[in-house]
Amino acid sequence: MKLFIKKPIQQLMAASAETEKSLKRTLGVGSLIALGIGAIIGAGIFVRTAAAAGEHAGPAVTISFLIAAAGCALAGLCYAEFASMIPIAGSAYTYSYATMGEFIAWIIGWDLVLEYALGAATVSIGWSQYFNEFLSTFFNFHIPYQWTHSFFEVSNTTAGMYAAELGTRGLINLPAIFIVLVLTLLLIRGTAESALVNNIIVIVKVAIVLMIIGLGWSFINPAFHTPYMIPADAGTVKVSTGVVDYGDTFNHGWLGVLRGASVVFFAFIGFDAVSTAAQEAKNPQRDMPKGILISLVFCTALYILFSHVLTGLVSYKDFLIQGKEASVSYAIKTAMPGYGWLASFVTVSILAGFSSVILVMLMGQTRVFYTMSTDGLIPKVFSKLHPKFRTPYKSQWLFFVFVSLFAGFIPDKYVGDMVSIGTLFAFVLVCIGIFILRRTDPDIKRPFQTPAYMIVCPLGAVICLCMIASEGWENWARLIVWLLIGFIIYFGYSIKRSHVRHGKVEAAEDPINPKFME
C-alpha cells in the first residue's frame, strides 16, 4: 500500500515556480514579517492571556509564555529551514510529505484544519465580544447575549447594563460569522490587497500594545502578583461554562503554569502561518526565515511584558468573572482611573487586530488545502483559482461555511483548546521532519540551516509533547475523533487519487482552461 511514499523534493521545487496556473508571488520580507505579527498578536494576547491566567497560571502566565515561546522558537528554526528549502504553499503538510511520507503528510494536513480554520473561529468569537464592547462604548447599544454567544453558554453577568441578561442562554454568535464573511470576501479579492490591509492593522495594534505596557506599568499592584503561582487552596470560580476548581491538578502551581503554556501557545500560531505563504513570496529562500523568526522574537517580548502588566492591574480571578473575552478593556477601566479613553481606543484597535489574525488564518487554511488538492488527496475544488484574482475562491467559500459553524455555535474555550493541541502536534512533526531530512538527504541545498539540529529538533519536539501532555482528556478525545474522521477520508478517497502514488505530476487547475486537470 506504500503508506509512507515520499514526494520528491525536486518535484516540490519544480512546483514552486510561478506560472499563470499558480499562486501569484507578491509578498516581500516586510509583508511576511507583518503577516506573522498580524497573526500572532491578536486573540492570544487579548483573550487567551486572560483565560490562561484566570484558569491555570495566575500571574505566572508570564512563565507560561516563556515555555510556549521556547517550544515555538525551536520549532520556528525548523520551519525556517523547511520554508527556505521548499518554498511552496502547504506549510507542515508539504514538509512532512517530503520527509515522512504521504500518510504522515495527510495526518498533518488534516490536523492543520484544527490550527487554521478553528483558529479563525476562535478569534472571531473574541472579535464578537469586543465588537459588542465597541457598540456599548460609542453608541450605548449592545447586541443581546443570545445573538453573541453559543447555545452552550449561559450568562452569569450581574453588573451594569447586562444585569437583565442573567441566566440567558446563547443561540448563535452572529457578529463572529459576519467578520468571517467580510474577510473571506477580501481574501478572494487578492493576497496583495489582503497584505496591505494587514500591514496597516499591524502598525495600529502594535502601537496600542506598547501604549498599554507603557501607561499601565505604573498602575501595577504588587499584591496581585503575590503569590505568583495559583495556590492549591484558591477555591473555585463559577463561569459561564461551569466551575473552575483551582484544586485540580493543572489549575495551580507548576502544572498550572504548564497547562497555561498550552493555552497561550495559541498566541504563537501566527509564525507558522507565514510558511503557508511561501509560494506567494517574491524571494522565499531569503525572506521566509526572516519573516518567521523576526515576527516570533518580536511578539514574544511583547507578550511577556503585556501579561506582566495585565495580571498586575486586577486579580486573575476577575478575568473569569468580569472581564472574560474583553478582559483588557475591563482591566484598564478598573485599575487605570482617567484612562477610560485608552480602553475605548483599545476596543477599536483590538477589533482591527483580531481581523488581521482571522485574515491570516483563513489564508493559511486555504493554502494548505490548495496544495493537498494539487496532490490529488482532496477534491479539485480546493485548488480551483479565480479567473481574475488567482486566489482559491471556492475553497475560501467552503471554509467560510465550516469556520462559521464553529464560530457561531461553539464556545471559544473549546475551539481554542482544539487549536492548541492541533498546532502542537504539527510542530512536533516539523521538528522530527528536519531531523530525518538532515540524516537522509544531507546534500540538499539549504539557504537557512537550523543550528545544532541534533539538539534543537529533539528538544523542540519534547517541549511541544510536554505541552500536549498537559491538555485535558477532553482535548485528547476531540483530537482522536478528528483524526479518525481524517483516516476514513484518506483510505476511502485520497489513497485512490494520490498523484504521487500513481505517478502523476501535480498541477493546479488552470483558471483560463477549466479542463486543464481533466
DSSP string of 46-102?
IIIHHHHIIIIIGGGHHHHHHHHHHHHHHHHHHHHHHHHHS-STTHHHHHHHHHT-H
Question: Residue 455 pLDDT > 90, yes or no?
Answer: yes
pLDDT in tens, 465-508: 888 887 777 778 888 898 999 999 999 999 999 988 887 654 44
Question: Residue 512 pLDDT > 50, yes or no?
Answer: no
| Percent of the chain at pLDDT exceeding 90 | 25
pLDDT score recorded for residue 516: 23
| Mean pLDDT to the nearest integer, 133-147 | 86
Number of neighbours of residue 231 by Cβ within 10 angstroms: 13
What CA dihedral angle connects 49, 50, 55 and 57, to 10 degrees? 50
Copy the grid coordinates of residue 70: 521556547
Q: Which residue has the higher pLDDT, 205 or 246?
A: 246
> How does the average pLDDT of the chain come out, rounded?
81
Distance CA 50, CA 57 (A): 10
Q: What single string gives the DSSP state of each residue in 325-359? A: GGHHHHHHHHH-TT-HHHHHHHHHHHHHHHHHHHH
pLDDT in tens, 180-192: 999 999 888 866 6
Q: Is the CATH code 1.20.1740.10 the one for domain 9-497?
A: yes
pLDDT score recorded for residue 405: 94
Distance CA 103, CA 294 (A): 32
Question: Residue 404 pLDDT > 90, yes or no?
Answer: yes
What CA dihedral angle connects 486, 488, 492 and 494, to 10 degrees? 10
pLDDT band at 26, cuts 50/70/90? Answer: low
pLDDT in tens, 317-375: 888 876 555 688 888 989 999 888 888 877 887 788 788 778 878 888 888 888 899 89
pLDDT score recorded for residue 195: 65
pLDDT score recorded for residue 490: 94
Least confident of 26-30, 112-116, 313-317, 428-432: 26-30
Distance CA 386, CA 371 (A): 16
| Percent of the chain at pLDDT exceeding 70 | 85
pLDDT score recorded for residue 518: 26
Least confident of 85-89, 155-159, 418-422: 155-159
| Mean pLDDT to the nearest integer, 227-250 | 84
pLDDT score recorded for residue 507: 44
Identity of residue 350: I
Beta-strand pair 242-245/236-239:
antiparallel
The number of residues making up the chain comes to: 518
Pick the closest to residue 336 from 219, 494, 200 (CA basis).
219
Question: Residue 25 pLDDT > 70, yes or no?
Answer: no
Long-range contacts (CB closer than 8 Å, 24 or more residues apart) made by 445-451: 445/85, 446/81, 446/84, 446/85, 447/84, 447/85, 447/285, 447/286, 447/289, 448/80, 448/81, 448/83, 448/84, 448/85, 448/285, 448/288, 448/289, 449/81, 450/77, 450/78, 450/80, 450/81, 451/77
pLDDT score recorded for residue 163: 52
Torsional sign, CA 437, 438, 443, 448: positive
pLDDT score recorded for residue 515: 30
Q: 3-class DSSP state for residue 239?
A: strand
pLDDT band at 160, cuts 50/70/90? Answer: very low
pLDDT score recorded for residue 511: 34
Distance CA 209, CA 49 (A): 13
| Mean pLDDT to the nearest integer, 5-13 | 75
Distance CA 16, CA 18 (A): 6
Q: How far is CA 462 from the centre of its chain?
A: 21
Q: Which residue has the higher pLDDT, 136 or 397?
A: 397
Contact 308, 219 (CB under 8 A): no
Pick the closest to residue 248 from 265, 263, 233 (CA basis).
233
